[in-house]
Each structure stands twice: as C-alpha cells, then as structure tokens.
Amino acid sequence: MYPRDLTYSMPPEWAPHERTLISWPIQASMCYPETYPDVCGGYAELIRAIAEFEPVTVIVNPSDLEKVRAVFADTPAVDLLPIEHNDAWLRDNGPTFVTSADGERAGINWKFNAWGGKYAPWDLDDQVAPQILEHYGIRRFDAPLVMEGGSFHVDGEGTLLTTEECLLNPNRNPELSRAEIEEQLARHLGITRVIWLARGLAGDETDGHVDNAACFAAPGRVILQVCDDPADENYAIAQENLRILEDAVDAAGRKLDLVKLPQPPYAEHEGNRLTLSYLNFYFVNGGIILPVFGGAAEETDRIAVRTLQEIFPDRRIRTVNGMAVIREGGNVHCTTQQMPAARA
C-alpha cells in the first residue's frame, strides 16, 4: 500500500516541528574546499539560530563527531547523530516526513542520485534517510522515484509546487512521463494537484529547484522572487513563472494570492553566478530563518525582512549570513529538513 492509502500526507513546512535535521558539511565534497572553515562557521551560526526556536539534530560523519560536539558544547538544544554521508544537503538526501489522519508519522525514502549524477560519490547520501528513520523508529516508505526535497513545496491542503526543469529532467526519472511522476507524488505525499513552474533560477546547479524561485506562504498564497532587470536571465524566468501562477488554481480550486519579492543583486564566486534567494528561508516554530546577503544587497535585505514580517506577523524573522553557505550552491532551506510534531 502507498502512504496515501493509509491517509498519510505531507504537512506544510509551517506546521509544528518536533525538531530540525541538518547535516554537517564535508570538505572533500565541496566545489571550493578552501572555503570549508567559512562554510562551517555559517552552519554553526545557522544551527544556533534554529536552536533558539526548536531542537536541532546534526547528522555528523563519525570522524567529525568530537570536533562538532565541541562547537555546540554551549548549545543544549543541539544533539548529534553520527551517520556517514558524502554531502551536506539534507533537504535533498534526507527523508520527507508525512503524517496520517491519526497523527502517526512516517518517512518517504526517495532515491537520490546527486542532482542527476553531478557529484560522485553519492552512495552514502542515498542511505542517510533510512538510517535517520531507523534511529527514530519511524515507519519508512521506499519511493521508486529520484527526488530531492528542495524540488517541491506543498501547501498542506493537496497542492504541490515544482518545476519542469527539475522533475522532468532526463537525468532524474527518464522512464517516467509527467503524468506518472504526478501519480507517484500523489501516492507518497497525498497531494491532488501539481502546479508546474517552468524553470528555477539561473545558476542553480540543482536543475531548477523550486525552493529558490517560489514557495507557499499559506494555502492559496505563494511568494515569488522576481527580477526587474530585463538583461538578467532571471527576468524572463520569473515573468514566465508569474504568468503560470496567475493562471493557476490550487487543489481547492482557489486562484492564488501572489506576493512578489525582489531578488538580491547579482553576485558571483570565481566567475560563477551565485543563486541568491530570499525564498530559501526556513520555517521554525514561531519564527523564520532568513538568509540575508549584506553589501550591495542591504536594500533588498531590508525589503525581504519587512515583507516577510508583514506576511507572518506572529513569527520572529531571524536573519543569518546567507553568503556563508551559498558558495557551495545552496542556502538555509537546502540544508534543513523539518520533522513534524507527532500528535498524541
């Protein structure tokens, strides 16, 4: 039986969490290994910020255990779970959690192939999700689908948001049609409608993960990162996605209320564009962890903080240095995975 048959569905990210899961970075896997100390500093800042709101479990390679334990010796809300892994993007290689009508949790174990086979080896990463679920005694469903958690968002009421660039890419599931992919998503996540955006942001090595381009703020409400420079590749991308969202209806038949958030100014590292996005924020209990970028982005940083505070007046907007992790290709949302709270 599939999770859907047992009343499981994926709750929205803003639902209450039991904890956040995050993996510690691996120097050998980094595109720019010389930045490892800075990246570790960024992770430490991020983990401490999340720990202000909820417990954090850090997945650590056994060889790094004592070093990382010393980093968080003064942060009691952080615990460590030794599991070998190749890379640190737990949103993508960790489990996706679902809950049943009676509040029981389960985890979806997707197939993982390092974003279409880009970064070998990935054998350890493909085994991270089963080990996490076994550690917590959570039921596991193995999905016959190559998927990454950053490639989709759900609204908790049956709607899933994704991009054609990623899910229909032949380097993921070339044997499956769009309709077959939709059916697998429905079976495992309990959704009934997929809204397909065209592309993700320029420079994104994940082949267009939606968590940089757009996200749900609530059922019926989507935040979209936009660009006002026609010479920027993201201008056409955002305009096309905006048209799609303006015409879309969700699983409940609602037209979407759209909130536009300006992108940060262009930035690069060693000649490669950095995919800067405020939408790579992360919901925590009572708050939002928001990457900001400083320097030339100070004005858009302020707009992002103000806009999110207006959208979420009951949540504390906690900013972190978004430049510390982005050189490895992702940001706050990419590193994290929420474990929903179980209902009694």
Which amino acids are annotated catalytic?
334
Closest C-alpha to 274, from 189, 341, 211, 212: 212
Helical spans, DSSP H, in 210-260? 233-247
Angle at alpha carbon of residue 108, lines to 10 and 211, rounded to 5° = 60
Using CA atoms, how far residue 42 sits from 31, 51, 99, 319, in Å, is 16, 14, 32, 12
Closest CA to 238 of 293, 196, 210, 200: 200
Q: How far apart are CA 160 and CA 291, in angstroms?
A: 24
The answer to whether the CB of 204 falls within 8 A of the CB of 166 is: no
Cα 30 from Cα 101, distance rounded (Å): 41
> How far, CA to CA in Å, does 342 sit from each of 1, 234, 285?
22, 39, 14
Distance CA 266, CA 71 (A): 33
Distance, in Å, from the CA atom of 176 to the CA atom of 2, rounded to the nearest integer, reads 18
If DSSP codes are grouped into helix, strand and coil, which group holds residue 15? coil
The answer to whether the CB of 86 falls within 8 A of the CB of 53 is: no
- How far apart are the C-alpha atoms of 176 and 141, rounded to whole Å? 19
C-alpha angle 306-309-311 in degrees, rounded to nearest 5: 110
